[in-house]
């Protein structure tokens, strides 16, 4: 039982100590960001729209009921009415109050391609919304990159600050011994102590910033981010661009093409069947109803062709408007590629610049470290004062800080270049 508990504790510690990579944070942020829920909503909305359009082929059924009173109705001329009366027939004529309860059925046989074109538009609009969602999701990477590399830089600054504190504490202990031995002044000891306390104060400020940024990144990713793994340098190809924005522009152009087909479908005639029936008074047989005032069943079926010629009035302007939409999408793609190329050049140049700086930083740190060690030796022998030692310690720390900044900035520019080309 004890072994099981120990194994469980080891597993928990291993999991908690796992360092999150940049890719893991980006994937977690994409899954955690609320916009991911739109994919399901877009898909369901598109299917409902297409399903509703498909139902346009079903018969259109309209039920109606009406009651009317007319000031005049069809009636027999008095001369004919008197003839019928002499024959013993009472020709009443139509009643002024009339009633009707009926059903009207319309069935489309040919719509010129309107329904199918509307379904294509609905599907293309759904696809465009999904790609726009991809663009929003992809832009999260840039935000994660900013927080991730900023947090890495803070971690490096805290580590360097800890090194400086250790150096100052070591010098402080040596000076304390020298003060007791009468070989150093108390002011020198207090000067180093004040410098160490200042470093501790700076450390507290850096850790507060680290905690704040760590919480932001954790909330953004939807997971606890405790340890970050420094990304490895990457080589990015600058010959291809796979950004989702390019797919969005393609979808916009395809949507314009679908609208053009729908525009042509509006010019075509429509063909359909119809059926009308009602129960009421009067019916289609007016003469019968003039003699016998009773409700009857009446019906009519037929085929109908309609052609809305007014669609030709605006067809040319509508086509030109869609052509403008296509050109706007193409222009937006050109602008995006142009700006992406500029970003690519800038990131590439920055990577080269930081690589050269990092190479020079190694030599500078080596020299600064040698000078600092020599200053410590000189202080121990009373050749220099404490201020000279502190200056060399700060110079060494500044050189190490510059190296850390250059390394993080170089990695950041590499991954920004990767982001620019979606690799």
What SS3 state is found at 62?
A: strand
Q: Does 100 reside within a domain? A: no
Q: Are 48 and 258 a contacting pair, CB within 8 Å?
A: no
Q: Does 120 reside within a domain? A: yes
Q: Does 302 reside within a domain? A: no
Could you write out the DSSP letters of every residue in 323-347? HHHHHHHHHHHHHHHHHHHHHHHHH
What SS3 state is found at 316?
A: helix
> What pLDDT, on the 0 to 100 scale, is given for residue 142?
87
Distance from C-alpha of 24 to C-alpha of 379, rounded to nearest angstrom: 49
Considering all CA atoms of the chain, what is the largest pairwise distance in Å, rounded to the nearest integer? 156
- Strands of 60-69's sheet in order across: 60-69, 97-110, 270-281, 296-306
Could you write out the DSSP letters of every residue in 390-415? HHHHHHHHHHHHHHHHHHHHHHHHHH
For residue 251, give its domain range: 19-58+112-268+326-421
Show pLDDT as tens, one digit a residue, over the chain (423 residues).
444 444 444 444 444 446 788 889 988 988 888 888 888 999 999 999 999 999 989 999 999 999 999 988 877 777 777 777 777 777 777 888 999 999 999 999 999 899 999 999 999 999 999 999 999 888 888 889 999 999 999 999 999 899 888 888 888 888 888 888 877 788 888 888 898 899 899 999 999 999 999 999 999 898 998 888 888 888 876 667 888 999 999 999 999 999 999 999 999 999 999 999 999 999 988 888 887 888 999 999 999 999 989 889 999 999 999 999 999 999 999 999 999 999 889 999 999 999 999 989 989 999 999 998 898 888 777 787 788 888 888 888 889 889 999 999 999 999 988 888 876
| Helix (H) / strand (E) containing 183 | none
| DSSP 8-class letter at 55 | G
Distance from C-alpha of 83 to C-alpha of 69, rounded to nearest angstrom: 29
Closest alpha carbon to 280 in 95, 107, 106 = 95
> What pLDDT, on the 0 to 100 scale, is given for residue 375?
87
Predicted TM-score (pTM) above 0.85 = no
Closest alpha carbon to 401 in 357, 371, 370 = 357
Domain CATH code at residue 253 = 1.20.1600.10
Q: How far is CA 149 from CA 2, 139, 399, 419, in A?
A: 42, 16, 20, 14
The total domain count for the chain is 1
Residues 6+ apart with CB under 8 A from 36: 30, 137
**Residue 233 buriedness (CB in 10 A; 0-12 / 13-18 / 19+):** exposed
């Amino acid at each position: 039982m004890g072994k099981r508990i120990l194994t469980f504790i080891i597993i928990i510690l291993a999991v908690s100590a796992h360092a999150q990579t940049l890719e893991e944070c980006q994937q977690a942020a994409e899954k955690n960001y609320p916009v991911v829920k739109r994919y399901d909503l877009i898909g369901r909305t598109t299917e409902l729209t297409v399903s509703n359009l498909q139902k346009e082929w079903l018969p259109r059924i309209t039920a109606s009921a009406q009651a009317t009173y007319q000031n005049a109705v069809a009636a027999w001329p008095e001369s004919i009415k008197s003839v019928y009366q002499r024959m013993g027939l009472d020709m009443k004529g139509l009643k002024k109050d009339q009633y009707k309860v009926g059903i009207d059925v319309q069935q489309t046989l040919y719509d010129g391609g309107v329904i199918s074109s509307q379904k294509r538009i609905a599907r293309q609009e759904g696809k465009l919304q999904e790609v726009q969602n991809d663009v929003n999701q992809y832009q999260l990477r840039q935000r994660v990159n900013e927080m991730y590399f900023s947090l890495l830089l803070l971690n490096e600054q805290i580590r360097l600050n800890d090194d400086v504190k250790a150096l100052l504490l070591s010098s402080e202990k040596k000076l304390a011994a020298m003060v007791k031995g009468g070989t150093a002044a108390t002011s020198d000891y207090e000067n180093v102590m004040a410098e160490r306390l200042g470093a501790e104060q700076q450390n507290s400020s850096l850790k507060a910033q680290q905690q704040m940024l760590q919480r932001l990144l954790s909330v953004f990713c939807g997971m606890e981010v405790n340890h970050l793994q420094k990304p490895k340098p990457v080589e990015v190809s600058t010959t291809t661009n796979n950004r989702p924005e390019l797919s969005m522009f393609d979808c916009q152009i395809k949507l314009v093409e679908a609208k053009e087909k729908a525009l042509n479908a509006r010019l075509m005639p429509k063909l359909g069947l119809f059926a009308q029936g009602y129960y009421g008074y009067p019916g289609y047989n007016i003469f019968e109803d003039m003699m016998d005032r009773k409700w009857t069943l009446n019906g009519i079926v037929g085929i109908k062709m309609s052609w809305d010629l007014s669609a030709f009035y605006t067809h040319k302007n509508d086509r030109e408007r869609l052509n403008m939409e296509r050109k706007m999408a193409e222009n937006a793609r050109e602008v995006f590629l142009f700006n992406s190329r500029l970003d690519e050049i800038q990131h590439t140049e920055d990577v080269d610049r930081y690589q050269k700086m990092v190479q020079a930083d190694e030599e500078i740190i080596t020299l600064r470290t040698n000078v600092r060690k020599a200053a410590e030796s000189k202080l121990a022998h009373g050749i220099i004062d404490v201020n000279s030692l502190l200056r060399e310690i700060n110079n060494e720390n500044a050189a190490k800080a510059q190296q850390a900044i250059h390394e993080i900035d170089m990695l950041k520019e590499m991954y920004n270049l990767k982001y620019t080309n979606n690799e």
